[in-house]
């Protein structure tokens, strides 16, 4: 970066706006509590001490959709819950991302019946799918890191 | 233990002319739908069965003629006894009197019976569906309700199903 050679220790760095905005979005992305079923337990254990998700900026999970950026749909979505899920997604302010965690949220999982929505991407648009029944906490963290790489790739023409 | 339950079963059978249904050491009494409230009241007051643990139904369509059997399980905590009651019910427009006055927790059990089997409960205070969405049509746990399959998306038919699938928009 050119200007640093001239400025030295002044503490100035030059970069592009895109880079800064994407970097700041990934550094403090707060997920919304949306643990529906068994995958919620793995999400809780990923947030807890051993596999800490606060290292990745997810310091806390907000229960209110108005104060969160990321919705981790953890667990099976029934047809009764689907309109509620859509309403909460609509209440989140942009920029927002959705991670579909586990098999039931991605494709219906082991359920193929009248009551379960086969894949949450029929209700909300999903960015990252995580497979597993339930996915291990490391798997969830891998999914989160993949989402961060996707966010780094966002261009200024998308959100400006 | 067993003679206690035998004596209770005997008195109910004599009082209400109920049939008997044995299964692996457990006794169930076959009761008519008009008598069920009285039988539950007698069991609760006189024989100390304080808790209704189960109230569900079984659908025997098309094998057996009274299509539904409503199953009640009453438990006595002091004497450590479980007694079952079975009410055979016909398929077309099945109705049943409520035992909500005897056991309060029958409220949700009977709502589930209405929603899942279509058994109308007379005298119930708040009969709506409880497990399915409130405007669902059909009664899912009956044997003639379709399973609700969806075609599985393997890799050879991935693209065709992908075009048909209703993905969500922003």
Q: What does the alpha-carbon distance between residue B102 and residue B39 come to, in Å, rounded to a whole number?
A: 10
Query: CATH number, domain at B113?
Result: 3.30.460.80
pLDDT digits (tens, 9 = 90+) for B133-147: 888 888 888 888 888
pLDDT of B7 reads 83
B146, B168, B169: best to mutate for the A interface, most A CBs within 10 A:
B168
- Are the C-beta atoms of B119 and B70 separated by less than 8 Å? yes
pLDDT of A77 reads 92
B166 contacts on A by Cβ (under 8 Å): 122
- Is B1 a residue whose pLDDT tops 60? no
A80 interfacial to chain B (CB closer than 8 Å): yes
State the pLDDT confidence band at A3, using cuts at 50, 70 and 90.
low
Apex CA A74: angle with CA A116 and CA B151, to 5°? 35
Report the domain count for chain B. Answer: 1
Residue B12: give the domain boundaries: 2-148
B150, B158, B169: best to mutate for the A interface, most A CBs within 10 A:
B150
Q: What does the alpha-carbon distance between residue A109 and residue A105 come to, in Å, rounded to a whole number?
A: 7
Asked if ipTM goes beyond 0.90, one says no
State the pLDDT confidence band at A73, using cuts at 50, 70 and 90.
very high
Confirm whether B155 is domain-assigned.
no
A108 contacts on B by Cβ (under 8 Å): 150
Tokens of residue A149, six digits: 């790489």
Chain B interface residues (partner A, CB cutoff 8 A): 132-133, 140, 145-150, 152-153, 165-170
B141 contacts on A by Cβ (under 8 Å): none
pLDDT digits (tens, 9 = 90+) for A93-138: 988 899 999 999 988 888 888 888 888 988 999 999 999 988 999 9
Which of A45-49, A59-63, B145-149 has the largest mean confidence?
Answer: A45-49
User: Which of B146, B148, B168 is the closest to A123 by Cβ?
Assistant: B168
Give the number of other Cβ atoms within 10 Å of residue B70's Cβ.
23
- Is B25 a residue whose pLDDT tops 80? no
CATH of A29-42+62-151, one of 3.30.70.1400, 3.20.20.140, 3.40.50.12280, 3.40.50.2300: 3.40.50.12280
pTM summary value: 0.81
Confirm whether B49 is domain-assigned.
yes
Every domain of chain A and the residues it spans:
29-42+62-151
A86 contacts on B by Cβ (under 8 Å): 168
Where does chain A show beta strands of DSSP type E? Answer: 31-32, 70-74, 97-101, 128-130
- Is A160 a residue whose pLDDT tops 70? no
User: Which of A112, A113, A122 is the closest to B166 by Cβ?
Assistant: A122
Which A residues in the span 8-47 are in contact with B, Cβ-Cβ below 8 Å? none
Q: What is the DSSP letter of A135?
A: P
Give the number of other Cβ atoms within 10 Å of residue B15's Cβ.
12
């Amino acid at each position: 970066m050119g200007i640093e050679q001239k400025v030295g220790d002044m503490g100035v760095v030059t970069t592009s706006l895109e880079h800064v905005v994407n970097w700041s979005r990934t550094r403090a992305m707060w997920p919304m509590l949306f643990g529906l079923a068994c995958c919620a337990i793995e999400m809780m254990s990923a947030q807890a001490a051993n596999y800490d998700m606060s290292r990745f900026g997810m310091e806390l999970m907000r229960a209110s959709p108005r104060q969160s950026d990321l919705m981790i749909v953890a667990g099976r979505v029934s047809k009764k819950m689907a309109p509620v899920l859509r309403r909460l997604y609509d209440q989140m302010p942009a920029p927002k991302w959705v991670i579909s965690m586990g098999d039931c949220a991605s494709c219906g999982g082991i359920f193929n019946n009248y009551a379960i929505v086969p894949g949450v991407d029929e209700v909300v648009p999903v960015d990252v799918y995580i497979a597993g029944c339930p996915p291990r906490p490391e798997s969830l963290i891998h999914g989160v890191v993949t989402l961060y790489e996707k966010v780094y790739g966002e261009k200024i023409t998308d959100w400006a | 233990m067993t003679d206690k339950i035998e004596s209770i079963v005997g008195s109910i059978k004599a009082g209400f002319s109920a049939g008997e249904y044995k299964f692996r050491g457990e006794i169930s009494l076959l009761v008519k739908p008009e008598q069920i409230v009285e039988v539950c009241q007698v069991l609760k007051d006189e024989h100390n069965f304080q808790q209704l643990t189960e109230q569900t139904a079984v659908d025997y369509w098309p094998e057996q003629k009274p299509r539904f059997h409503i199953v009640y399980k009453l438990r006595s905590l002091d004497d450590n006894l479980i007694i079952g009651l079975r009410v055979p019910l016909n398929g077309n427009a099945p109705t049943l009197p409520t035992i909500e006055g005897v056991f309060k927790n029958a409220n949700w059990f009977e709502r589930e019976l209405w929603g899942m089997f279509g058994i109308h409960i007379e005298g119930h205070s708040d009969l709506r569906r409880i497990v399915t969405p409130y405007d669902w049509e059909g009664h899912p746990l009956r044997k003639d309700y379709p399973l609700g399959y969806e075609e599985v998306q393997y890799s050879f038919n991935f693209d065709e199903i992908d075009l048909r699938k209703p993905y969500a928009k922003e």
